[in-house]
């Protein structure tokens, strides 16, 4: 069964639900996308299917966590979700695997009272509950620490207006060691026996050491060949502690000297906004939603032996222009598409409602990698039509 919630549902997920007759929790939001009443189930029926009949559960959005916490208390699902949503609990869970890793939960109001000199440098500070790189900062020196404390006040005010408490609770922050190494994201699920099944592995690259954005992820056969076995071993070791079954997960990791260290995990889904699971569909040709619901495993041996060694990327078009939404007349999506040799799918988002212009999926041959480097550092100003202030008055 699937719980649909804001902010976004992709065509791939909608078509998967309708063609495969997958049950969906009946809500006013779900009814906007699913017209077949036979697929929509009441709260009581949904609780019965999940609690008594052990129906699989997937959600496209962590906004659904509130419903799960409220109605599925007879299962261990809320408890397992909490292991990942509460970053302190996650660090405590895996501390047996990483005994030297520093982490500390601090109430937001107590941050300015911390003894800065007692903290490891560099370190990262982020909301104890949250995702989408909101409120995340790397700190290298005392000057940055003071600046970040001021910035956090404005950031937290803005995100609390967008996401519910269960998704982004800025009451507490966690301070933890900065993890060196290259960053990757893994979409996976744990089957009925608790075995990990990898759906995709994506490299997450940044424009600088201070960049913590979700601008660019890409996957390739080379990345999967390099990390598949290591990632499977890491997931098995983690699940020896977490005891997850029938559980989808999007987890971010860093790889340093062949050691995998997790950054954080997002439970009950693959990548948010239907992004990274749909990237797997573009790149590898299988449907992650079906593979999870039917407990199927990708034939990685066959997939990774294909001749295609291109990069398949997901690009988050965040508003980095320096202009507010009200100052922007429109975004030139056609110009954006012309910046890529093989754009696969464009998803336009209302940038007045969310601080992003959309998402772009693209295929890039190795010789054209410069197009990804270019978009990584772009502020998107060259794709804007701005209002003329003289005409607005």
**What is the mean pLDDT of the segment spanning 30-35?**
97
Q: Which residue in 189, 197, 129, 203 sits closest to 160, CA to CA?
A: 129
Question: What is the full DSSP assignment across 346-358?
Answer: EEE--TTTSSEEE
Residue 34 has a CB neighbour count (10 Å cut-off) of 22
Residue 326 has a CB neighbour count (10 Å cut-off) of 9
d(CA 362, CA 279): 9
300 to 255, 271, 363: CA distances (angstroms) = 21, 20, 19
d(CA 33, CA 36): 9
Helices 276-284 + 11-19 axis angle, to 10: 80
Q: In CATH, what number does 182-389 get?
A: 3.30.470.20
d(CA 4, CA 35): 13
**What is the mean pLDDT of the segment spanning 228-236?**
98
| pLDDT at residue 392 in the model | 43
268-278: pLDDT as tens digits: 999 999 999 99
**What is the mean pLDDT of the segment spanning 103-126?**
92
Q: How is residue 75 written in tokens?
A: 């299962």
CA atoms within 13 A on the CB side of 218: 23
Burial (CB < 10 A; 0-12, 13-18, 19+), residue 390, is exposed
Q: Report the chain's mean pLDDT, rounded to a whole number.
A: 92
d(CA 152, CA 282): 37
Higher-pLDDT residue of 305 and 128 is 305
| pLDDT at residue 168 in the model | 46
Is residue 27 within 8 A of residue 4, CB to CB? The reply is yes
| pLDDT at residue 159 in the model | 62
Q: Is the pLDDT of residue 288 over 80?
A: yes
Each domain of the chain, given as residue ranges in start order, spans: 2-83, 86-177, 182-389
Asked if residue 353 has a cis previous peptide bond (ω within 30° of 0), the answer is no
Give me the sign of the Cα torsion angle 90, 259, 104, 156.
negative
d(CA 199, CA 297): 8
Reduced to 3 states (helix: H, G, I; strand: E, B; else coil), residue 12 is helix
- From the candidate CATH numbers 3.80.30.20, 3.30.1490.20, 3.90.950.20, 1.10.10.60, the one assigned to the domain spanning 86-177: 3.30.1490.20
297-348: pLDDT as tens digits: 999 999 999 889 999 999 999 999 999 999 999 999 999 999 999 999 999 9
| pLDDT at residue 152 in the model | 82
Q: Phi and psi of 150, rounded to 5°? A: -70, -45
Reduced to 3 states (helix: H, G, I; strand: E, B; else coil), residue 310 is coil
d(CA 60, CA 34): 14
d(CA 212, CA 318): 12
| pLDDT at residue 257 in the model | 85
158-216: pLDDT as tens digits: 665 655 555 445 578 999 999 999 999 999 999 999 999 999 999 999 998 878 789 99
Distant-in-sequence, close-in-space partners of 298: CB < 8 Å, separation ≥ 6: 197, 198, 199, 284, 286, 291
d(CA 152, CA 207): 21
Q: Phi and psi of 249, rounded to 5°? A: -155, 140
228 to 47, 232, 248, 290, 342: CA distances (angstroms) = 35, 6, 17, 21, 26
d(CA 353, CA 158): 12
Asked if residue 245 has a cis previous peptide bond (ω within 30° of 0), the answer is no
**What is the mean pLDDT of the segment spanning 138-155?**
88
319 to 197, 351, 366: CA distances (angstroms) = 35, 8, 27
What dihedral do alpha carbons 306, 307, 308, 310 form, nearest 10°?
130
Place of tokens 């998967």: 16
46-69: pLDDT as tens digits: 999 999 999 999 999 989 999 999
Higher-pLDDT residue of 3 and 168 is 3
Beta partners for 173?
A: 106, 127
Beta partners for 314?
A: 217, 361
């Amino acid at each position: 069964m699937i719980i649909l919630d804001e902010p976004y549902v992709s065509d791939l997920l909608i078509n998967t639900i309708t063609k495969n007759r997958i049950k969906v929790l009946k809500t006013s939001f779900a009814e906007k996308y699913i017209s077949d009443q036979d697929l929509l189930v009441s709260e009581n029926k949904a609780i019965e299917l999940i609690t008594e009949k052990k129906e699989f559960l997937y959600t496209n959005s962590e906004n659904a966590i509130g419903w799960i916490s409220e109605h599925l208390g007879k299962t261990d699902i809320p408890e397992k979700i909490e292991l990942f949503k509460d970053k302190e609990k996650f660090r405590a869970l895996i501390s047996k695997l990483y005994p030297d890793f520093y982490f500390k939960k601090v109430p937001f109001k107590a941050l300015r009272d911390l003894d800065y000199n007692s903290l490891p440098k560099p370190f990262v500070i982020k909301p104890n509950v949250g995702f989408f790189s909101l409120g995340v900062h790397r700190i290298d020196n005392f000057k940055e620490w003071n600046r970040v404390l001021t910035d956090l006040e404005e950031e937290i005010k803005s995100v609390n207006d967008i996401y519910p408490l269960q998704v982004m609770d800025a009451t507490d922050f966690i301070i933890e060691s900065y993890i060196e190494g290259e960053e990757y994201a893994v979409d996976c699920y744990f089957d009925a026996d608790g075995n990990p099944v990898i759906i995709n592995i994506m490299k997450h690259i940044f424009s600088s050491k201070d960049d913590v954005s979700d601008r660019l992820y890409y996957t390739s056969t080379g990345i999967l060949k390099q990390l598949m076995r290591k990632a499977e071993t890491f997931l098995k070791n983690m699940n020896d502690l977490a005891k997850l079954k029938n559980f989808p997960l999007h987890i971010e990791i860093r790889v340093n000297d062949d050691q995998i260290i997790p950054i954080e995990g997002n439970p009950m889904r693959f990548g948010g906004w239907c992004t990274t699971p749909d990237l797997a569909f573009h790149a590898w040709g299988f449907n992650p939603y079906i593979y999870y619901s039917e407990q199927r495993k990708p034939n990685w041996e066959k997939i990774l032996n294909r001749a295609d060694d291109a990069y398949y990327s997901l690009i988050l078009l965040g508003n980095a222009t320096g202009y507010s939404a009200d100052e922007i007349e429109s975004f030139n999506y056609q110009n954006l598409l012309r910046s890529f040799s093989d754009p696969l799918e464009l998803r336009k988002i209302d940038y007045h409602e969310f601080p992003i212009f959309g998402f772009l999926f693209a295929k890039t041959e190795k010789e054209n990698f410069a197009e990804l480097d270019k978009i990584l550092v772009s502020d998107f100003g060259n794709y804007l039509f701005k209002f003329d202030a003289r005409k607005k008055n």
